[in-house]
Structure 1
Amino acid sequence: QEAAVDADRVYLAAIDKFDAMLSKSNTYAPEALYRWGSALQQRSQLRSRNNKEKIRLLEQAKSLFEDVLYVEGNNKMVREALSSCISELNYHGRWLQ
């Protein structure tokens, strides 16, 4: 449990850094949004499968991946991340119903 709390702090710090970087320049925005989404998706793994916070994190990650694809529609890496995120949402969403 303590390791999960520490890992959560690391993910939150990374998200803050990505957010700060985006506010300074849009040059690397797609890459930053992808990494931010990946951090959220990984952070969701710290939650139990029937946790609503897990679903919220996955939905945020999905939204960020979709934002990247709006700008870079042919980005295979982001398409795969989005597909993975949607699969997780479908799987975990069933447990909350």
Structure 2
Amino acid sequence: TKEQTAFQRVISSQPFWVTIALIALVILMTAMEPSFGTSENVANVTRNLAPFGIMALGMTVVIITGGIDLSVGSIMGLVVIVAGLFLTWHYPW
């Protein structure tokens, strides 16, 4: 087989098409709802996804070092429940 050019490798890669689909989705959503593409909405989405990003970074380190720990999701659930209880009990942070 002939070697592919850099352009052909990029076009045939899955991340390229996922990126194209994401860009198309953002353009479509912005056309349907103009407030979707605002910097305020991007900041809001970023704030809402920050805990998941922090967990993902932690799990990346665990996976790279060769240990797979599936308890992160259950620990997060427990922390959310305990934090909710503290809030309902008016616990002073």
TM over 0.5: no
Query: Larger Cα Rg: Structure 1 or Structure 2?
Result: 2
- Which TM-score applies when normalising by structure 1? 0.27
Q: TM-score, normalised by structure 2?
A: 0.28
